[in-house]
Structure 1
Amino acid sequence: MGIIEMKQQLVEAARSLHQRGFVVGSAGNLSVLLDDGTFLATPTGSSFGELTELSVSHFTKEGTLLGGKAPTKEVPFHLACYESHPEARAVVHLHSTYATLLASCDHLVDGQPFVPFTPYFVMKVSKVGILPYRKPGSPLIAADILAKPHNWTYLMQNHGLIVCGSSLREAVFSAEEFEESAKLWYLGRNLPIRHLTEEQMRELRGL
């Protein structure tokens, strides 16, 4: 797919996420890896709801700006995601309400931040890596991701969600599924939920 089509997809994905309340203000960022090895990303300080194809950042791995506005300050951890996952072609970072609430809970450990109770969470969200709290924009976030290459989904403590995907569509769908699952977890935390068994989860993962 060419750069023009990918810019269109990025703008459409950003607007859709904004319209449905997954982001507010200038929070969150998206990126995609192009076939020529360069990248597209949402610009620094931009709103998903106001993004245009002309403003989308186009840059090299080394940081040379090829077009559009300057990219998000979170580019280092996006690049770390691509380095850790050679199959990845997109990264979605959201401060969505329930995922961020979950990320702010104490005693989270790698794997499953809560025991799954819907098959869709198991099928669409890979095992979750928990990253320590860092100041937004910190280069240490990239190092944290590189230290956990087996995770395609990450919760940054007190910050938000990062999802890697083999396409922008897949990454967005996984991020949406995570947010909806975190919402169900919160709403049902005092209910007698029937959780999936380990055997059922293995079946869903095709193990």
Structure 2
Amino acid sequence: MTALLSEETRARDEIARIGASIFSRGLTFGSTGNISVRLSDGSLLMTPTNACLGELEPARLSRFTAEGVHVDGDKPTKEAFLHRCMYCARADAGAVVHLHSTHSVAVSILADVDPADVLPPLTAYYVMRVGTLPLVRYFPPGDARLAEAVGEEAGRHHAVLLANHGPVVAGKTLREAQYAVEELEETARLFLMLDGRRVRPLTADQVAELRRR
């Protein structure tokens, strides 16, 4: 029990610290975005509803049982199901980050992207940290159909892009999820900057080599 309490304390502090970093660099704004961590007993810590990631109080984070029942902390975000979908589908997921990051959202609104893989492999780090990025069709925030749509993709992809909404990214650790969602946002920014210009993305062979590594 003591070890679990120590793990939970560290996770609470890390969520607040990474939330502040994400917010201070303009990767989300207002009360948008949410972060969660799965503890070793399967329980979840999650940023609550209407919380600014730049002003999180570790003691007020929402806590859920392994079965998804809210048992402690402030009222949970209505997007908690996005996190649970990832955890249910991915046994390796230790954390999930969902943002409304500007460039990723902009790409999610474009009419002519490939819904099976939204962004091209512009850099090696994008391939290694994100990989294939499917576009999840639009549903209103909190809609149960969005949970079903995310669940359909989560088993095959640790990162998805919600149409007209933003990215949801899982990682083995919170730091890994943070780096992946930041790589996704930076690649979306590059993609928009290069719009209309001829580009030289990585070839299929180069992508395959990265994945083998």
- Shorter-chain TM range is over 0.9
Instruction: Letter of the 2:194 partner, please give it.
Output: G
Distance 2:14 2:119 in 1: 32
Q: 2:169 aligns with which of 151, 163, 168?
A: 163
Q: Gapped runs of 5+ residues in structure 2?
A: 1-5
SS of the residue 1:154 aligns to: strand
1:97-137 deviations in Å (ceiling 9; x for gaps): 10000111124334421322211111111211211101011
Distance 2:89 2:115 in 1: 17
Preserved CA contact (<8 Å) 1:84 1:145 = no
Which amino acid is the alignment partner of residue 150 of structure 1? R
Q: CA deviation at 1:77?
A: 1.9
Contact 2:27 2:100 (C-alpha < 8 Å) held by counterparts: yes
Match of 2:62 among 57, 60, 64: 57
The residue aligned with 1:37 is 42
C-alpha distance in 1 between matches for 2:8 and 2:71: 12
Correspondence for 1:76: 81
**Unaligned regions of 5+ residues in structure 1, if any?**
none
Q: Does 1:91 align with 2:96?
A: yes
Question: TM-score, normalised on structure 2?
Answer: 0.92
Runs (4+) of structure 1 moved beyond 2 Å?
61-67, 107-112
> Does the 8 A contact of 1:61 with 1:79 survive in 2?
no
Mapped pair 1:186 → 2:189 = no
> Does the 8 Å CA contact 2:117/2:135 hold for their aligned counterparts?
no
SS at match of 2:96: strand
Show the counterpart of 1:46: 51
Equivalent pair of 1:124/1:177 in contact (CA under 8 Å): yes
1:1-56 C-alpha deviation (Å, 9 max, x unpaired): 61000000100110000000001000011111111111000010110011111211
In structure 2, relative to structure 1, the CA distance for the partners of 1:77 and 1:196 (3 Å cut) is: same
Matches of residues 115-194 of structure 1 in structure 2 within 5 Å? 115-148=120-153, 149-194=155-200
- Where does residue 66 of structure 1 map in the other structure? 71
The answer to whether the 8 Å contact 1:77/1:139 transfers is: no
